[in-house]
A and B are shown apart, each in its own frame.
Chain A
Amino acid sequence: MTPLTPVITEHWDVPDLFTLDGYRRKGGYRALPKALAMDPDAIIGMVKETGLRGRGGAGFPTGLKWSFVPQNDGKPHYLVVNADESEPGACKDVPIMIANPHALIEGVIIASYAIRASHAFIYIRGEVPQAIRRVATAVREAEQAGLIGDNISGSGFSLRVTVHSGAGAYICGEETALLNSLEGLRGQPRLKPPFPATHGLYSLPTVVNNVETITNVPWIINNGVDWFRQFGTEKSPGFKVFAVSGHVERPGIYEAPLGITMGELLEYAGGVRGGGPVKFWLPGGSSVPMLTADYLDTPLTYEAMVEAGSMLGTGTPMVFNNTISVVKSVTRWLEFYKHESCGKCTPCREGTYWITGLLEKFEAGHGTDPDMDLLNEVCGHIMGRSFCALGDAAATPFPAAVKYFRDEFQTATTVPVDVSFPPSAGYVFEGVAAR
C-alpha cells in the first residue's frame, strides 16, 4: 500500500505552527535565504525540472507558467495567489492557510523573487475569515521579521504582500475574474489572449498560482529536484494534499504521493461510513466527472484520471454511498453553478438555468425520457462553448451521472427522489437522523 507522505502537512499537529516561531522551530524560512542566493532564473529552472503541476485544478506546469513572464521588460510584475477555494468538495487550501500560513508566505516570497515581482497578492475566499486572519497575521509577522519588505535579508530584493478578501463569488476563482476583482472591477473573466503572463493584474505581467502550488516551493528549494521527483509519477510528480470527504469514516486531509489510488485513500480514511460499497466518487471537486467503484484502483494522477474519463481537479475526493441519490447530488451541484454563473456568456448563464430547471423536474419525480436526452444536448451546448471553465464545469456532472446511473433518472420520471432515497438515510453525522 502506498505510504502517506506528510510534507506540507508534516507538522500540522504542532499547536503554534501558524506562528512565525512555530514555523521556524519546524524548519521554516530556511529555504528563503537559499533562494535569495540563487539566480531567479535558476529557481524557475528548478521548478520547471521538478515538473510541479498547478494544484488548483487545471494541472498546468508551474515552472513553465513562470517562464512565460517576460523578464527584464522594465515593467512591474505581480504574483497573485489564488486562495479563492470555493469548489464544492474542495477543502485543502483553507486548511493549509489555517495550519501553516507561513509556508505559503515563504513560497510567495521565493516565487515573487523568481518572477521578479515586487508585489504579491493573496486573494482569499471571503467566507473563510479564519484563514484570512491567519494569513494576514502571518504576513504582518513576516513583515516585522524583515522577511517581507524592503531589501529582504540584505538581498536587494523587496516585496510587498497584500492579503485581499473576496466577496463571495465562485467565479473569482477563475484567474482572470480574480484579477478583475482585485482591480475593483466586476468579477467576470477576461478575454484570453492576452494571457495574465503578459497582461495580468493592471495589464502587467502576472503569475496566478494556487495556494498549494506555491506552498510546495520552499520544500523544493530545500530538498531539490530529485527529492521532489521521487514522489508521484513521471507526468504527475510530487505529493498532494488530498482532502477526502463524504461517506468515509475519517474524512480529512491525507497527504500522499500522486499516483495513490482512491481505494488506498479510502482505507486510510477508515473505509466507507457504515460499511457498504462506494456508489460513486469524484476525484477533485464537483467540476470533474464522477466515477464508480470500478475506478478505485486507478492511480490518482492527472493523466490516469483523464484516461478514466474524469479529472484529478483539485485532488479533493468526495465519496458517496448507496444512501445518496445521484439525481439529487447533480441537482444540488447545478443549483450551485446556476447561482454562481457570472452571467457574462450566454451558454453558462442560460444553460445552467435550463439544466437546473430540468433536474428539479427529475428531483420532484416529473422528469421525462426526452428530458434526459435534452439535458445531454443542453450540456453539450455549454461544453466547450462557454467563455470560461465555469460553464464547462456546469456541463460536467449530468452526462457522467446519466452514463452510470440512467436507471435512477428513469425512476425519477415517476417517483420523487426523496421517496426513493429518504434523506435521513444519507445523513453523515450520527444523531442528525434522530432529530
Chain B
Amino acid sequence: MTVAPQAPAGVELTDPNSVIVTVDGIAVRVPKGALVIRVAEMMGIEIPRFCDHPLLDPVAACRMCLVEIEGQPKPQPACAIPVTDGMVIRTQRTSEVAQVAQEGVMEFLLLNHPLDCPICDKGGECPLQNQAMSAGSGVSRFDLKKRTFPKPISISAQVLLDRERCVSCARCTRFADEIAGDPMIELLERGAKQQVGVGPDEPFDSYYSGNTIQICPVGALTSADYRFRARPFDLVSTPTTCEHCASGCSLRTDVRRGVITRRLAWDDPQVNEEWNCDKGRFAFRYTTEGRVDSPLVRDGGELRPASWPEALDRAARGLAEARGRVGVLTGGRLTREDAYAYAKFARVVLGTDDIDFRTRVASDEEADFLAAHVAGKPMGPTYADLDAAPVVLLVGLEPEDESPIVLLRLRKAARKSGTSVVSISPVRTRGIDKMNAQWWACRAGDEASVLRRIGQGEDTHLLEQLRSDGAVILVGERMAAVPGALSQVAALAADAGARLGWVPRRAGERGAADTGALAGLLPGGRPITNAQARAEVAQVWGVDPNSLPEGPGMTTQGMVNEVLADHGRAESDQARRFGALLVAGLQLADDPRADDLRKALDEIPFLVALSTHHNEVTAAADVVFPVAVVAEKAGSFTDWEGRTKAFSAAIHGAQTSTDGRVLAMVADTMGVSFGTGDVSALRSELDTLGSWPGARPEFAPRDAAEAADLTLATWRLLLDDAALQEGEPHLAATARPTEALMSATTAQEHGLGQARSVVISTDRGSVELPLRLAEVAAGTVWVPMHSEGSDVLSLGAAHGSRVRVSGGAV
C-alpha cells in the first residue's frame, strides 16, 4: 500500500493490479479486490467486527462493520465488499451513517447477551467487551426479558458452549467447515433461538476443535480445561513453538503463578497461519506430573536422591571408564540445541560416533536417506510450496494424524489453489477426503513397488504432474519400515525433478538430524567419514581433528544388538563392546524392539539418564539427572520444512537445566573442555558451523521386498497413549476409536466376514480389536499404532509387517 498523491519522479503509479480508493478522506493505492475492512486495517483504521476473520470466507452476518460507500443507498458491510477503483469509503470515523449503524448493531448484539462478564473466561480479552466500549453506548435501552438458555452444554469433551453468550457470528461453524473440513457443528434453530449445535451422539470430535474457542469473539465457546482457571490479565504470555510434532506451530503459552494454564495458536502466516491442533493446544499437563525433581543415583540396587556434585561425580567416573564404548540415545523430542549438545558430547567427551535419535521404527536405509537428502539441507519444500504446487504426492504419510498443520495447508491448497493431492496409503482416511485427494490404494509394504511403477509411468498423468514445476513429494516416518521405499521415493523425486520433503512425527527429529545426533553425521549434514568435515567441526569445537571418531558409528539397532551380544561375551566390563549408555528422554515403548531395548538397559553396566519424567529408562539407570521440559527452557525446533523456530522459556525461573547444561557439567566434572552448554553458546556454535556444502555420501538404493499376503498397516493417531498426553482426560475423550480396519473382501478372505472383532497376531503376541469394514487396500489390516488397547509395537510389528488374523471373541 502506498499513499497515492504524488509519485516520485520516474515511478509508474498505474499498476494494473491496484486501484485507488479513498477511506475517510485519505486516498490510497491498494490491491484490486481487497476487502474494504482489510484496506482500512492496512491504513490503521479499525472497523469493529465479529463475524469477519481474515482466514475465513466473508459472511457479512453480524453487520457490525457497516460503513458508508459513496453511491450506495444503504450502509455496506466492509468485510464483504471488494474495493473498486475510485471507491469512496467513510467509516465510523467520518460518517454519521456508519457510526449510527454500528451503534445500532452493537445495541442489538447486547440485547440477548447475558453480560455475565464477571464470571466469563473471555472477560478481559473479549472482542464483544472491547467493541461494546469503543462502538457502543454505556447504557442499554432494552428493558424486556432476555432470551435465556441453560448454562454450558458440551459440544465435545473439551469444548463447552454457553449459548446465551453467542452472537451467531458463525466463525466456529465456518472454521469447522472451511478450514478443518470437520463440519460437525452447525447453527440450529432460527431467529433469537439460533444456536450452535451438534448432532445427537455426534460430538465435535475434530482434531482442530480448540481453534473455535480461540476465534470465538465472545465467551460462548470455552475450554473444559481452562474454564474458570484464570483471568487473562493474570497470565504471563510467551510466544513458543509447539513440541508435539514437526509441524512447527507458533503457540502462545500462558502461565499463571509458574503453572501453564493454557496454550493458544499464535500467528505465523508462513507455518500454522492462526491455527493449531488440539494436542498442541491442550496437552501440557505433562509438564507438572511425574517429574524427576532431583538427581538420583543407584545405591545398593536402589535409586536414591543425591546432590548434584555426587551425581555428577558418579556419572563422570562411569562414563570416563567406558569412554569410546558409550552409546548415546537421544530420542526425537530434544530441542535443536540440546540434540546438538549430545552430538558434540558423544564425539568430544565420549569419543564415540555411536549415537542415534531414533528409538522408533527405523532402518539403516533411513539413516542413509537422511544423510543424503535431509540433514543440514536448506529449508524446503515449505508450506508455501504446498500452496503453489500443482501436485503433492503423499507417501506413507497421514498428515491429519502425523502433522496436522500439513493437512490444513494441503486442504487449503486443494480448495483455494487447485493443488491436486495424491496419497499412497493403505486406507482411504477422512484426511484424504478433506484434501480432496486421490487415494492410491496400496497394501502396507508395497509402497516401494508402487513408487517404482509410478516412476515407470503406470499413471502417466501423475508422472506428468510430478514433472511439472513446483511438484512436491512428502514422505512419512513409517516408510523407514518398508525396505526400498525411501530409495524409490528419492529416485522418483530425482527423476521427475520434484521437491522432496521428509515429514517426521516428532518435533526434534529434523533438528537432531541437522545437528548430528545420528551416527555418521556431524552437525550441518557433514559426513563423519570425511576428513575435511571432521576438521571443520574440530576447529569450531577447539579439539584436535584426530581426536574425533572417524565413524561411522552404530545406530540404535546396532547398539542394542551389541549390548545384547555382550551378555555372556565377556567376564570383565572392559572387554564389552559397550560399557555405558547415555539416554535422553525417550519412551522405550515407541520402539518395535522395546523388549530388546529393555534387556539392553538391564544388561548395560552403566546407564546415565537425563530425563524430565520418571519412566522405564530412569528406573533402570545408575544416575538420573532431571532436565527441563520445553516450557521451562529456551531453544528451538526445526520443523519438517527445515525451518528453525526459536523460543524462550515460558515458565520463568524454573529450577531446571537444559540437557545441554547438564552435559556441560558432566564434561566439566570429567575434565573435558565442552563449553558452558547453555542455549546461546550452543546456538552460536551451530551458526558458525552452518551446513556442509561438500559432497554427501552416495545413497545406495535398497531393494524392495515382497510384501506378505496379509500385512499390517499402522501409524500413530494424533491422540493416543503417548506420554505427553498424560493428565488430559478431556483431550483423550476426543480421540478416535481404537479399532481395526479391513476391506470387506479381505475380511471375507480371512474368514472374518461376520466378525465383530479381530485378533491380530505375530510370533510375539496378539491384540484384539473391534473390526470395522472400511476402504482399505486388499491384503492389509490397519490398526492404530499406540492407542489404548492397541500397542502393536509390543508385537514387534511395524508398518508392512506380516501378521495373522482370526476372529475375535466378541
Q: Interface residues, chain A, CB within 8 Å of chain B?
A: 169, 171, 186, 191, 338-347, 349-354, 357-358, 361, 374, 380-381, 384-387
With an 8 A cutoff between CB atoms, is B540 at the interface?
Answer: no
Is B145 in contact with A357, judged by CB distance below 8 angstroms?
A: yes
Is B60 in contact with A349, judged by CB distance below 8 angstroms?
A: no
The CA of A149 and the CA of B189, in the complex, are separated in Å by 38
Query: B505 → chain A, closest Cβ, in Å?
Result: 37
Is A387 in contact with B63, judged by CB distance below 8 angstroms?
A: yes
B277 contact set on A, CB distance < 8 A: none
Interface residues of B in 61-117 (CB under 8 A from A): 61-64, 66, 73-75, 80, 101, 104-105, 107-109, 111-112
With an 8 A cutoff between CB atoms, is B237 at the interface?
Answer: no
Of all A-B residue pairs in the complex, the 3 with the closest CB atoms, nearest first, are A343-B194, A381-B104, A350-B108
With an 8 A cutoff between CB atoms, is B192 at the interface?
Answer: yes
B73 contact set on A, CB distance < 8 A: 384
Which residue on B lies nearest to A374, using beta carbons? B141
Is B191 in contact with A385, judged by CB distance below 8 angstroms?
A: no
B430 contact set on A, CB distance < 8 A: none
A186 contact set on B, CB distance < 8 A: 186-187
Query: B92 → chain A, closest Cβ, in Å?
Result: 14
Is B62 in contact with A343, judged by CB distance below 8 angstroms?
A: no
**Quick one: which of A171, A339, A349, A385 contacts B104, CB cutoff 8 A?**
A385
B144 contact set on A, CB distance < 8 A: 354, 357-358, 361
With an 8 A cutoff between CB atoms, is B190 at the interface?
Answer: yes
Query: A249 → chain B, closest Cβ, in Å?
Result: 37
Known contacts A191-B60, A374-B141, A387-B61: A346-B108 contact under CB 8 Å: yes
Is B191 in contact with A340, judged by CB distance below 8 angstroms?
A: yes
Query: B96 → chain A, closest Cβ, in Å?
Result: 13
Which residue on B lies nearest to A341, using beta carbons? B191
Is B66 in contact with A341, judged by CB distance below 8 angstroms?
A: no
Chain A to chain B contacts (Cβ below 8 Å), 9 pairs:
A191-B58, A342-B191, A343-B190, A343-B192, A344-B194, A349-B168, A353-B192, A381-B107, A387-B61
Is A354 in contact with B111, judged by CB distance below 8 angstroms?
A: yes
With an 8 A cutoff between CB atoms, is B147 at the interface?
Answer: yes
Give the interface centre of B60, B62, B108 by most chain A CB atoms within 10 Å. B108
Is B101 in contact with A338, judged by CB distance below 8 angstroms?
A: no
Is A346 in contact with B63, judged by CB distance below 8 angstroms?
A: yes
The CA of A373 and the CA of B252, in the complex, are separated in Å by 49
With an 8 A cutoff between CB atoms, is B215 at the interface?
Answer: no
B594 contact set on A, CB distance < 8 A: none
B66 contact set on A, CB distance < 8 A: 385
Is A169 in contact with B75, judged by CB distance below 8 angstroms?
A: no
Which residue on A lies nearest to B188, using beta carbons? A186
Query: B459 → chain A, closest Cβ, in Å?
Result: 28
With an 8 A cutoff between CB atoms, is B696 at the interface?
Answer: no
Give the interface centre of B63, B66, B141, B187 by most chain A CB atoms within 10 Å. B63
With an 8 A cutoff between CB atoms, is B193 at the interface?
Answer: yes
Interchain pairs with CB closer than 8 A, number: 95
Query: B295 → chain A, closest Cβ, in Å?
Result: 61
Query: B56 → chain A, closest Cβ, in Å?
Result: 13
A339 contact set on B, CB distance < 8 A: 191
Known contacts A341-B191, A346-B63, A350-B111: A381-B101 contact under CB 8 Å: yes
Which residue on A lies nearest to B80, using beta carbons? A191
Is B101 in contact with A385, judged by CB distance below 8 angstroms?
A: yes
With an 8 A cutoff between CB atoms, is B198 at the interface?
Answer: no
Is B64 in contact with A353, judged by CB distance below 8 angstroms?
A: no
The CA of A178 and the CA of B74, in the complex, are separated in Å by 24
Is B63 in contact with A347, judged by CB distance below 8 angstroms?
A: yes
The CA of A385 and the CA of B189, in the complex, are separated in Å by 22
Known: A342-B191, A345-B62, A384-B74. 18 other contacts (CB 8 A): A186-B186, A338-B191, A340-B190, A340-B191, A343-B187, A343-B192, A343-B193, A345-B60, A346-B105, A350-B111, A350-B112, A351-B108, A352-B192, A353-B147, A353-B192, A357-B145, A361-B144, A385-B101
B107 contact set on A, CB distance < 8 A: 381
Is B190 in contact with A169, judged by CB distance below 8 angstroms?
A: yes
B104 contact set on A, CB distance < 8 A: 347, 380-381, 385
Query: B745 → chain A, closest Cβ, in Å?
Result: 32
Query: B233 → chain A, closest Cβ, in Å?
Result: 28
The CA of A351 and the CA of B107, in the complex, are separated in Å by 10
Known contacts A186-B186, A381-B105, A385-B104: A346-B58 contact under CB 8 Å: no
A343 contact set on B, CB distance < 8 A: 168, 187, 189-194
Query: A376 → chain B, closest Cβ, in Å?
Result: 12
Is A385 in contact with B75, judged by CB distance below 8 angstroms?
A: yes
Which residue on A lies nearest to B144, using beta carbons? A357
A380 contact set on B, CB distance < 8 A: 104
Query: A314 → chain B, closest Cβ, in Å?
Result: 22
Which residue on A lies nearest to B191, using beta carbons? A341
Is B80 in contact with A346, judged by CB distance below 8 angstroms?
A: no
B147 contact set on A, CB distance < 8 A: 353
Known contacts A339-B191, A385-B74: A350-B60 contact under CB 8 Å: no
Interface residues of B in 147-175 (CB under 8 A from A): 147, 167-168, 170
Which residue on B lies nearest to A171, using beta carbons? B190
With an 8 A cutoff between CB atoms, is B34 at the interface?
Answer: no
Is B108 in contact with A347, judged by CB distance below 8 angstroms?
A: yes
Give the interface centre of A186, A340, A344, A357 by most chain B CB atoms within 10 Å. A344
B184 contact set on A, CB distance < 8 A: none
Which residue on A lies nearest to B73, using beta carbons? A384
B108 contact set on A, CB distance < 8 A: 346-347, 349-351, 354, 381
With an 8 A cutoff between CB atoms, is B142 at the interface?
Answer: yes
The CA of A380 and the CA of B97, in the complex, are separated in Å by 11
Is B191 in contact with A346, judged by CB distance below 8 angstroms?
A: no
Which residue on A lies nearest to B173, using beta carbons? A186
0 or 1 for each of B646-687: is its CB under 8 Å from A? (1 = yes): 000000000000000000000000000000000000000000
Is A354 in contact with B142, judged by CB distance below 8 angstroms?
A: yes
Query: B337 → chain A, closest Cβ, in Å?
Result: 49
The CA of A167 and the CA of B254, in the complex, are separated in Å by 48
A357 contact set on B, CB distance < 8 A: 144-145
Is B191 in contact with A345, judged by CB distance below 8 angstroms?
A: no
**Quick one: which of B61, B145, B186, B187 contacts A346, CB cutoff 8 A?**
B61
Which residue on A lies nearest to B109, using beta carbons? A346
Query: A72 → chain B, closest Cβ, in Å?
Result: 24
The CA of A114 and the CA of B144, in the complex, are separated in Å by 53
Query: A353 → chain B, closest Cβ, in Å?
Result: 4
Is A342 in contact with B168, judged by CB distance below 8 angstroms?
A: no
Is B112 in contact with A345, judged by CB distance below 8 angstroms?
A: no
Is A387 in contact with B60, judged by CB distance below 8 angstroms?
A: yes
Known contacts A354-B111, A354-B144: A349-B192 contact under CB 8 Å: yes
Query: A76 → chain B, closest Cβ, in Å?
Result: 21
The CA of A316 and the CA of B696, in the complex, are separated in Å by 84
The CA of A378 and the CA of B64, in the complex, are separated in Å by 15
Which residue on B lies nearest to A187, using beta carbons? B190
The CA of A353 and the CA of B112, in the complex, are separated in Å by 9
A341 contact set on B, CB distance < 8 A: 190-192
Query: A383 → chain B, closest Cβ, in Å?
Result: 9
Is B61 in contact with A345, judged by CB distance below 8 angstroms?
A: yes
0 or 1 for each of B181-203: is its CB under 8 Å from A? (1 = yes): 00000110111111000000000
B732 contact set on A, CB distance < 8 A: none
With an 8 A cutoff between CB atoms, is B59 at the interface?
Answer: yes
Is A347 in contact with B61, judged by CB distance below 8 angstroms?
A: no
Known contacts A339-B191, A354-B108: A346-B64 contact under CB 8 Å: yes
The CA of A194 and the CA of B74, in the complex, are separated in Å by 18
Which residue on A lies nearest to B169, using beta carbons? A346
Query: A53 → chain B, closest Cβ, in Å?
Result: 20
Which residue on A lies nearest to B189, using beta carbons? A343
The CA of A340 and the CA of B59, in the complex, are separated in Å by 20
A361 contact set on B, CB distance < 8 A: 144
0 or 1 for each of B317-345: is its CB under 8 Å from A? (1 = yes): 00000000000000000000000000000
B62 contact set on A, CB distance < 8 A: 345-346
0 or 1 for each of B544-577: is its CB under 8 Å from A? (1 = yes): 0000000000000000000000000000000000
B192 contact set on A, CB distance < 8 A: 338, 341, 343, 349-350, 352-353
**Quick one: which of A346, A358, A385 contacts B167, CB cutoff 8 A?**
A346
